[in-house]
């Protein structure tokens, strides 16, 4: 099956899914964060009875509604693509991957969509406290929705709580709680939603800064900046904590991704963390070129962050291809790493054993059946490698992963400074004369989106060629369809999504220019 696969089909299927995911992610983070900011604002309104807070709440609620409506459209298309473009993947792990998505639809989406109606249309129709409760439930619902999607994605990064059924050639769930509480899933969820909080806080500050520059809605702008600056700064600090946890899990479960994030080709003990650097263009893992044109690093920090030991060995791309280094397995026992070539060989043994198992089943050969099953289980850990032929194919796009990671981290530290200055200026009540900062706040909005998208590029490009780490590569996950059909839909989606994005920006900017309704009615 793989031998006859059109490589263009894989590339176009990946491109289409990446296009949909990145466009979808332009809308999701704002929804995740602004709902909580709105809930905080309405809570103050209910506590104080100040109508100005109601006006502020309703203004940001309107912008949230525009973003939410357009975001849903891209999200629905994204889920359909699993069936249209990735049917082999859906068959292979549908029993596991489908469960979180089903729960997301039944529990989170319905919770969110039910109370969003009360939130928008329930003013003066239900009590203040019930309306406030609805607003909070929308906030929790949107984040609960993200939980189940990120649990599914986390499982793809590190499959747990499952076993492979040779009778059906499918993975089946053994323990739902192992899937839900996987360390990678938990860290991914917390890190991702927190990045959404940061983006939403920057968005609110940036729009508020525009009002101050125009000399409009000063009270709304200043109060919004106070809420968002505190929310954003606390979120940034928590983002560092969850980022550290995510990096640790990557080191343990996806060492090739870590090597790509750091541009590390040759592993070493006491490896330093690169703060700033330019990887050598065209660098290959087996050539003699230096890893970097130049770099500035903090000594031993990568070893400490990845393994809790400043002298720990961190494998580079070359080590992961060649093998031979020692590492501690999940039971804490030292093992010698296999080379990529050895893993590919074991993967092919596992795939062939599965074929022999099916033949033995058809022929009622019990001895061959047991022999094939034992051989399959012995090598199943490397099952996905059996679909690959070139050891170098397990190397992701190192420059793209490296630059995306360092852009994300650098902007994260900039955001801490940005929120701190915002709080300082608003506390001293001299933010209005600081035109440079207000203009900077507006320019920071696109930077927040760049940081957010960079994070997803690291997560998804960094784990290539895997759709499911070590179990299913992209070449084995695609649907057997004509590549031209994917090309056509790729360009159609590009036009549609771009039109949706332009529409959102135009509607948003128009609504911002209009401003809040007087009195908040």
User: Is pLDDT at 224 greater than 50 in this prediction?
Assistant: yes
351 shares its domain with 327: no
CA triple 464-466-469, angle to 5 deg: 120
- Look up tokens 């194919």; give the residue: 393
Distance CA 257, CA 205 (A): 34
How does residue 1 score in pLDDT terms, banded at 50, 70 and 90?
very low
The residue from 299, 318, 334 where one domain ends is 334
pLDDT tens digits for 246-301? Answer: 889 999 899 999 999 999 998 889 989 888 889 888 888 888 888 888 888 899 99
Kindly tell me the sign of the dihedral angle through the C-alpha atoms of 408, 181, 461, 100. Answer: negative
Distance CA 346, CA 382 (A): 6
Mean pLDDT across the chain, nearest whole number? 89
CB 514 within 8 A of CB 73: no
Q: Does residue 127 belong to any structural domain of this protein?
A: no
Mean pLDDT of 469-497: 90
330 shares its domain with 345: no
Question: Residue 348 has what pLDDT?
Answer: 94
User: Is pLDDT at 2 greater than 80 in this prediction?
Assistant: no
How does residue 4 score in pLDDT terms, banded at 50, 70 and 90?
low
Q: Does residue 439 belong to any structural domain of this protein?
A: no
Mean pLDDT of 147-171: 88
Question: Residue 81 has what pLDDT?
Answer: 83
Distance CA 324, CA 150 (A): 34
The residue from 312, 334, 356 where one domain ends is 334
pLDDT tens digits for 356-394? Answer: 998 888 888 888 888 999 999 999 999 999 999 999 999
Question: Residue 330 has what pLDDT?
Answer: 67
Q: Does residue 191 belong to any structural domain of this protein?
A: no
How does residue 353 score in pLDDT terms, banded at 50, 70 and 90?
very high
pLDDT tens digits for 412-438? Answer: 999 999 999 999 999 998 899 999 999
CB 378 within 8 A of CB 466: no
Q: Does residue 206 belong to any structural domain of this protein?
A: no
User: What DSSP assignment string belongs to 144-194?
Assistant: HHHHHHHHHHHHHHS--SEEEETTTTEEEES-HHHHHT-HHHHHHHHHHHH
372 shares its domain with 327: no
Mean pLDDT of 491-506: 91
> How many structural domains does the chain have?
2
275 shares its domain with 329: yes
Question: Residue 91 has what pLDDT?
Answer: 86
The residue from 349, 371, 387 where one domain ends is 387
Q: Does residue 279 belong to any structural domain of this protein?
A: yes
Question: Residue 481 has what pLDDT?
Answer: 86
295 shares its domain with 314: yes
Question: Residue 80 has what pLDDT?
Answer: 79
pLDDT tens digits for 200-215? Answer: 999 999 999 999 999 9
Distance CA 75, CA 31 (A): 13
- Look up tokens 């309306």; give the residue: 131
Between β-strands 273-279 and 292-298, what pairing exists: parallel, antiparallel or unpaired? antiparallel
Question: Residue 255 has what pLDDT?
Answer: 93
Q: CA 280: distance to chain centroid?
A: 27
Question: Residue 89 has what pLDDT?
Answer: 87
Distance CA 449, CA 443 (A): 11
Distance CA 43, CA 37 (A): 10
330 shares its domain with 373: no
Q: Which domain holds residue 351?
A: 340-387
* 472 backbone dihedrals φ, ψ, rounded to 5°: -150, 110
Q: Is the pTM of this model over 0.85?
A: yes
CA triple 160-165-167, angle to 5 deg: 170
CB atoms within 10 A of CB 331: 6
Q: Does residue 289 belong to any structural domain of this protein?
A: yes
306 shares its domain with 349: no
Mean pLDDT of 113-130: 89
Q: Which of 447, 446, 443, 441 is nearest to 425 (CA)?
A: 441
Question: CA-based diameter of the chain, in Å?
Answer: 85
The token duo for 193 is 């939603």
How does residue 73 score in pLDDT terms, banded at 50, 70 and 90?
confident
pLDDT tens digits for 399-417? Answer: 999 999 999 999 999 999 9
Q: Which run of H or E residues covers position 434?
A: none
Q: Does residue 177 belong to any structural domain of this protein?
A: no
Q: Which of 61, 7, 18, 1 is nearest to 490 (CA)?
A: 18
CB 219 within 8 A of CB 424: no
Q: Does residue 353 belong to any structural domain of this protein?
A: yes
Question: Residue 521 has what pLDDT?
Answer: 46
């Amino acid at each position: 099956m793989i031998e006859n696969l059109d490589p263009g089909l894989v590339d176009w299927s990946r491109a289409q899914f990446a296009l949909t995911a990145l466009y979808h992610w332009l809308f999701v983070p704002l929804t995740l964060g602004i709902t909580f900011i709105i809930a905080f604002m309405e809570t103050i309104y209910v506590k104080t009875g100040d109508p100005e807070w109601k006006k502020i709440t309703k203004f940001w609620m309107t912008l949230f509604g525009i973003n939410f409506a357009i975001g849903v459209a891209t999200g629905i298309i994204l889920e359909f693509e699993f069936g249209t473009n990735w049917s082999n993947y859906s068959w292979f792990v549908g029993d596991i991957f489908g469960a979180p998505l089903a729960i997301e639809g039944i529990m989170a989406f319905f919770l969110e969509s039910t109370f969003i109606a009360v939130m928008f249309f329930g003013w003066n129709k239900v009590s203040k406290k019930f309306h406030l409760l609805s607003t909070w439930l929308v906030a929790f619902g949107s984040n609960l929705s993200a939980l189940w999607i990120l649990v599914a994605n986390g499982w793809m990064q590190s499959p747990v709580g499952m076993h492979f059924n040779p009778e059906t050639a499918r993975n089946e769930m053994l323990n739902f709680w192992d899937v839900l509480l996987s360390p990678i899933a938990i860290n991914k969820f917390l890190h991702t939603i927190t990045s959404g909080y940061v983006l939403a806080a920057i968005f609110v500050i940036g729009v508020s800064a525009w009002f101050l520059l125009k000399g409009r809605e000063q009270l709304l702008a200043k109060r919004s900046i106070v809420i968002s600056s505190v929310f954003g700064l606390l979120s940034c600090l928590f983002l560092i904590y969850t980022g550290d946890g995510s990096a640790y899990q990557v080191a343990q479960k996806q060492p090739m991704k870590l090597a790509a994030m750091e541009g590390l080709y040759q592993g070493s003990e006491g490896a330093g963390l690169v703060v700033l650097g330019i990887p050598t263009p065209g660098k290959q893992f087996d050539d003699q070129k230096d890893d970097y044109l130049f770099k500035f690093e903090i000594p031993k920090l990568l070893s400490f962050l990845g393994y809790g030991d400043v002298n720990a060995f961190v494998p580079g791309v070359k080590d992961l291809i060649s093998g031979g280094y020692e590492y501690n397995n999940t039971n804490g026992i030292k093992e010698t790493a296999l080379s990529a070539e050895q893993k590919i060989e074991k993967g092919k043994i596992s795939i062939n054993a599965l074929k022999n198992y099916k033949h033995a089943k058809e022929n009622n050969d019990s001895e061959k059946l047991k022999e094939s099953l034992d051989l399959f289980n012995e090598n199943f850990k490397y099952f996905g490698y059996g679909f690959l032929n070139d050891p170098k194919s397990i190397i992701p796009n190192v420059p793209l992963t490296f630059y995306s990671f360092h852009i994300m981290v650098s902007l994260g530290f900039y955001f801490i400074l940005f929120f701190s200055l915002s709080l300082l200026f608003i506390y001293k009540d001299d933010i209005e004369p600081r035109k440079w900062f207000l203009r900077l706040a507006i320019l920071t909005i696109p930077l927040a989106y760049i940081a957010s998208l960079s994070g997803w590029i690291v997560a998804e490009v960094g784990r290539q060629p895997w759709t499911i780490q070590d179990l299913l590569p992209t070449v084995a996950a695609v649907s057997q369809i004509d590549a031209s059909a994917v090309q056509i839909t790729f360009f159609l989606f590009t036009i549609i999504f771009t039109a949706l994005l332009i529409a959102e920006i135009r509607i948003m900017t128009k609504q911002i220019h209009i401003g809040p309704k007087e009195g908040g009615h």
